[in-house]
Chain A
Amino acid sequence: MHILRAVTTAGAAICALAAFLPGIANAGPAPKRTVGLVVTSWFTAQYNTPHWEECPEGAAIGNDELWLRSLPQDARIKKTDGGKVQPVDGARKQQAVVRGPNGEDVCMNPTVVNDPPLRIIKGKFGYGFNLDGTNDGAPTSKSCKHDKFEDPDTGLKVDNQTYRTLGCILGWRNGNYMEGHPNGERQDSGRGTILIEVTDVDDLENDPDVTVAFYGALDPMPKDSTGKILPFASYHVSGTPQYGAKAKGRIENGQLTTTPVDARLPLYGNNYTGDMFLKDMRLRVAMPKEGEGAPVKALLGGYYDFNKWWDYIQKIEFLLVAGQWNCPQIYQAAKQLADGYPDPKTGECTALSTALTMEALPAFIVHPKNERTVAEAPEPEKKTQLAQGQ
């Protein structure tokens, strides 16, 4: 049996040793292990059929098309070379997004236009977690009334209103621009990399009580000569104290599932730098096999704070054309489809159920000295030194 243990390197912090040390012979009772994973790619979990049956109204209409429709015929002819669709250059893209009645940017001001409703997912199937605990989507203290999806693999009722909102937009469907581009950015830059650390592991196949922590990484992902991410790389944990949320978990038949936890995860993609704010976040991941560097699949879900989510969407407006979407329609649809954390005063839900499919590789997670987790992070200073002096 292989053993795994924490390793101390001279003059440095403890390495939380991830993955498995290969080539170790039997050396007595195995201590608890730590398994590390680096998330190499992630995307909104989607159930896409080849012929778009889940989108009976067809593909969502992009901002560019709506802008063209809004133009008088003579202007349309002039701007489109006789009505022919032309590649959208930078100048026209700018014209298209500032189509508010007073020239407003409709991503920054999504309510100034009255676009037709977004074409959303109407299908039965979807991937995610049952976040509200219901099978019918009836309102609860933590959720608003909504439609449930059925997981095509398990038959369980699940929530994923993010998929319902975005699933009929061409650029957001599996394998399109919004999946490949930001993942490539994360892999190339080393920014926004999510680390998952599973500690207190007795048995990789079955263990009723493990701890799972979620961190941001500081290091780029090393690649081989073909561009594939290499397993068993060492990643340093970001010192940002707001990361590091911890959940309890259990492993059954090699599948790890966590209990819900509120978490903040690093988000980078499409030239956007920020964080994901997920409430009741949970993870399901296949544990890597002993000593193997093969990628593992994971599903991460929770309620995404609407305002934070929308901040990301509106700030990547420069990809409207590449992604074939339209800000006002998404805004309106997502507001209506938001299903989590109702505002006590208005009853309007403030979060969107979401689920992300992930691919991860075994990795070593290196902790900095004096690391603080989210629970240990001090409250921000209420006053500045200058103010106190006054």
Chain B
Amino acid sequence: MRIVAICAAASIAALVAGCGKQEPQTTGTPPLVRQMTEVQYRAVIADLFGPDVKIAGNFYPTPREDGLMAVGASHATITPSAFERYDKLARLIAAQVVDASNRDMLVPCKPAAVKSADDACATVFFSKVGRLLYRRPLNQDEVARQVKLATEVTKTTGSFYDGLAAGLSGMLVAPDFLLIGDLVETDPNDAARKRLTGYSIASRLSFFLWNASPDDALLTAAEKGELYSERGLAKQVDRMLRSSRVEAGVRALFADMFGFDGLARLQKDPLIYPAFGLSAADDSGEQTLRTIVDQLVVNEGDYRDLFTTRKTFLSQPLGLVYRVPVETTSGWEPYEFPVGDQHVGIQSHLSLLALYSHPGRSSATLRGKAVRELLLCQKVPDPPANVDFTLVSDSSNPVHKTARARLSAHSTDPSCSGCHKLMDPIGLSLENFDGAGQYRATENGEKLDTSGELDGVPFKNPQELGTAIHQNAALNSCLVNRVYAFAGGHTPQPGDRPLLDYIEKKFVADGYRLKPLLRTIATSEGFYAVGGTATGTAEASVKP
């Protein structure tokens, strides 16, 4: 365990100051192997080879587990067909890297002759690229293996660069690249303990805060053993949090938390929702993520204010949906909904409203469930298999004209009413927004009643719902849980509870701000603790 200073008092002030002594111990987490997600893959390739290198292809979706793909990635498998896709992508990327138009920039040396092998140049290339791809230095055997492959290919094709491309494409499908593994080693201060290697700490940090591979500075810090010290770790965390790249990490966190991968597959009936085109679907997630980044990263504001803010960003397609003016002809501009407008908070954004609705109608139940599960981390049981949804889905019912009326009739079934009480009061307040997020005061000509209550806090309309969410204590613990799970790639275990409680208290003391929360977790000793049992635990074998 790292040595920490002794704090004079266990006060909130000390917590805020980040006194390590306040941090409770955890049982640690078994080492994990996570599959790199599509977003991470694209970010890594863009980092290494530049944004002009095209990554043309589809990825197999990462499964979602306990609300996060970041957790599902720990249990993902690469099927033969998924591997074929990776292989195809790798060949395309490698060909672009060594292409005549790019090689001067991306290959750090020139061969003596382009038609024959050059082991020295190949060694330089694979050593440099390999360190960034594998997130650790390659050992001599690994480099030699790539050089040998390149040489053999060069002999066959008569092109040095074909050889490099063959070696590079092989590295791009290697487990060392595609799988982000927690490598462990014996703690030199305690032979009975295991700890993450410096490079694994670097990877965990980088994918957590930037959603990308470690950069050279972080790898160098790992190489020097600086990440084992509290000061060295904090130095790197602070550097990373100061970087604009933290925006990518925050985007990835909330896109995962809110299930925005679903926006790419979202379909709405164009006859019912004519303003909801593909552009609006694409832009809806971006609107919410921009709002989040502005509030939490740029302004370092209170997380809870995300649910009461009128400030957001709009594009032309979104202006059509919200029916507000958008001045910019392309791109984005800040916008503030007027006082009195019911578009308050990100829960009133098109992204969440449309995602948690049906293709041709809104859904108070899905929206209520989303608030419970995504924002408050309260699991709502799945409906029984034999439920009859006929009445609920009949949005043109002449008798039950509003969703409230239909759900009221539906919920008379005792097997349904229990769960609907959890979801419907929340979702019905969002009925002021149709299935594609457009405001409406009535449904089928009948005025909407959007009142309800959330855990005992009553509200009259969507605006007041935002305030109720803002005040809900579960909002804070949920975010802490989600960020912690996202960062480590695993669902918090009972043994993590004391640490999570500590982090939450600190989050509250820090003014509900995200960046301090990220820092608390990233500098937390418990976050890196290795414990428990796991299959496939990897002892570090790399000795650079």
The interface stretch among A17-25, A107-115, A330-338 is: A17-25
Q: Looking at the complex, which one of B335, B341, B439 makes contact with A9 (CB distance below 8 Å)?
A: B335
Task: Mark the stretch among B204-212, B215-223, B326-334, B397-405 that contacts chain A.
Answer: B326-334
- Which of B7-15, B271-279, B514-522, B531-539 contacts its partner? B271-279
Contact partners of B341 in chain A: CB under 8 A: 21, 23-25
Q: Decide: B325 and A23 in contact? CB cutoff 8 A.
A: no
> Which of A13, A23, A233 interacts with B343 by CB under 8 Å?
A23
A234/B342 in contact, CB under 8 A:
no
- Complex CA–CA separation, A5 to B337 (angstroms): 11
B323 within 8 A of A: yes
Which of B270, B323, B328 makes the CB contact (< 8 A) with A22? B323
Residues on B with beta carbons closer than 8 Å to the beta carbon of A22: 323, 438-440
Among B295-337, those with CB < 8 Å from A are: 316-317, 319-320, 323-329, 333-336
Complex contact B439–A232 (CB within 8 A): no
B residues 341-358 with Cβ under 8 Å of A?
A: 341-343
CA distance A156 to B325 in the complex (A): 39
Cβ of A385 within 8 Å of any chain B Cβ, yes or no, is: no
Bound CA–CA A364/B343 (angstroms): 18
Is B327 in contact with A25, judged by CB distance below 8 angstroms?
Answer: no
Size of interface on B: residues with Cβ below 8 Å to A: 33
Contact of B338 among A9, A24, A224, A365 (CB under 8 A): A24
**Cβ-based interface call for A366 (8 A):** yes
Asked whether A124 is an interface residue with its Cβ less than 8 Å from the other chain, the reply is: no
Partner of A10, one of B324, B334, B461: B334
Residues of chain A within 8 A of B3, CB atoms compared: none
Could you tell me the distance between the alpha carbons of A115 and B343 in the complex, rounded to whole angstroms? 65
User: CB-CB < 8 A to A228: which residues of B?
Assistant: 274
State in angstroms the CA–CA spacing of A225 and B386 once bound together. 37
Q: Specify the main secondary structure of chain B where it touches its partner.
A: loop
Q: Known contacts being A9-B333, A9-B335, A21-B341, is A225 close to B270, with CB within 8 Å?
A: yes
B523 at interface by CB-CB < 8 Å: no
Instruction: Report if B340 contacts A (CB, 8 A).
Output: yes
Contact indicator B327/A226 (Cβ below 8 Å): no
Does A226 lie within 8 Å of B274, measured CB to CB? yes
* A222 CB–B CB distance under 8 Å: yes
Q: Which B residues are CB-close (under 8 A) to A85?
A: none
User: How far apart are the CA atoms of A254 and B439 in the complex, in Å?
Assistant: 24
A16–chain B nearest beta-carbon distance, Å: 8
Measured between alpha carbons, how far is A10 from B294 in the docked complex, in Å? Answer: 14
Chain A residues whose CB sits within 8 angstroms of the CB of B329 once the complex forms: 218-219, 236
Cross-chain contact A224 with B325 (CB below 8 angstroms)? no
Q: Mark B456-489, 1 if CB is under 8 A from A, else 0.
A: 0000010100000000000000000000000000
**Residues from chain A with Cβ under 8 Å of B325 in the complex:** 7, 9, 15, 17-18, 234, 364-366
State how many angstroms separate the Cβ of A40 from the closest Cβ of chain B. 14
A12 within 8 Å of B by Cβ?
A: yes
| Apart from A233-B320, A236-B327: 16 A-B pairs, beta carbons within 8 A | A3-B338, A9-B333, A12-B328, A13-B327, A24-B342, A27-B338, A27-B339, A225-B270, A225-B277, A226-B274, A232-B323, A291-B323, A291-B439, A291-B441, A364-B324, A366-B327
Nearest first, the 5 closest Cβ-Cβ pairs linking A and B are: A224-B274, A364-B325, A23-B439, A225-B270, A22-B439
Binding site for A on B (CB under 8 A): 270-271, 274-275, 277, 316-317, 319-320, 323-329, 333-336, 338-343, 432, 438-441, 461, 463
